[in-house]
Amino acid sequence: MTSKTPKRQSWSISGCYATWRLTIAIDPPEYEDGDPDTLDWPEEKIRPLVDHFGQVVDYCEIAREFERGGVFSGR
């Protein structure tokens, strides 16, 4: 039984308050008969998470601007 390195993918958003980064790591399953050569990304399952990440960043940026008394200019 061998262990493979997790597959990682990152997304970054440059905002006014910070540069936001989401990194997802998928650990491949361990197989008794050997590991598969590839680990496919389940894009249809990850896309909603990435979209939600963008919304969270927007809300955090808006809240920060509101606290500072400014107007949110968007990203």
Is 2 within the bounds of a domain? no
Closest among 70, 71, 62, 53 to 10, alpha carbons compared: 53
Predicted confidence (pLDDT) at residue 55 exceeds the cutoff of 70:
yes
Query: Is-contact 5 25, C-beta < 8 A?
Result: no
> Where would I find the beta strands (DSSP E) of the chain?
7-14, 19-26
Work out the average pLDDT over 24-36.
Answer: 71
Predicted confidence (pLDDT) at residue 4 exceeds the cutoff of 70:
no
- Show the domain range for 56: 7-67
Number of structural domains (the chain) is 1
What pLDDT is attached to residue 1? 47
What pLDDT is attached to residue 2? 52
Is 30 within the bounds of a domain? yes
What pLDDT is attached to residue 45? 85
Is 39 within the bounds of a domain? yes
Total-model pTM: 0.67
Q: What is the pLDDT of residues 41-53, one digit of tens each?
A: 778 888 999 999 9
Bridge partner residues of 12 (DSSP): 21
* Spatial separation of the C-alpha atoms in residues 46 and 62, rounded to whole Å: 25
Query: Is-contact 10 22, C-beta < 8 A?
Result: yes
Is 1 within the bounds of a domain? no
